[in-house]
Amino acid sequence: MRKGIVVGLLDQKVALVTGSSSGIGKAIVQEFAHEGASVVVHYGHNREAAEQVKQEIESNNGHCLLLQADLSDPQQAVQLVKQTVEHYGTLDILVNNAGMEEHGTILDVTEEQFERVLSVNLKGPFFCAQTAAQEMVKRKVAGRIINISSVHEDIPMPGNMAYCCAKGGLRMMMRNACLELAPYNITINNIAPGAIRTPINEKTMNDPNLYNQLISEIPLKRMGEPDEVAKLALYLASDASAYVTGSTFFIDGGLTRYTKGL
């Protein structure tokens, strides 16, 4: 308490959450704002949805900036971070959440598909993280970088080759960066969601056969909720995780540990 005012876990912090107009990113940016952070709602294409998120945050007395960038373009990724710093004067937390899928196997995925997926899911997060880290070092900020990865940074998903390559790359980027950034008191970790109830999973949720097959492989027998991922992101963004870096946190209902036995 501070003179009768409840201080949020991210009070006076500045957070940029990419891809925060819907799904997991929306839940994270709203959670951060609720905990006192000044936040950036980033979107790629759907400005209307991003505006709605901004209005919801501001209606709850949150501080919010709306920015657009195509993260498949490294220059736009860099500028997104720089615009955040120019507006707020600093950056304490970066969440690399924006991502996409284009299905294809090693036999048929095209160069264009492969390039698009890796550009958004790996190259974009890398240059956001690089620029954020540079700004944190310059300002001597004890920063937090969080990548929203996937269980598929670790387990294969036949038919989704480019996506798995990108998420696997994100895993090693995080692990290498944690050693390079530790001397500056900057932590970097991954959150690896399994099946979460978001728009990207609508096809599965609306098909009883696909849904039942999915649930049969999840020990907790349900899909996760975006708010549950947001709570984990809050921990990694807060001072409570100051001694945590270089790790992947699976939030998947036990999916990655499931086996039907021999």
Residue spans of the domains in the chain: they are 14-254
Predicted TM-score (pTM) of this structure? 0.95
Of the residues 43, 163, 184, 235, only one is catalytic, namely 163
Q: Which of 11, 35, 69 is nearest to 231 (CA)?
A: 35
Question: Which CATH entry fits the domain spanning 14-254: 3.40.50.720, 1.20.1630.10, 3.30.300.130, 3.40.50.20?
Answer: 3.40.50.720
Note the pLDDT tens digit of each residue in 3-21.
444 579 999 999 999 999 9
Quote the pLDDT of residue 201: 87
Rounded to an integer, the average pLDDT of 172-183 is 98
- Whether 163 sits among the annotated catalytic residues: the reply is yes
Which residue has better confidence, 260 or 94? 94
Mean per-residue pLDDT of the chain: 95
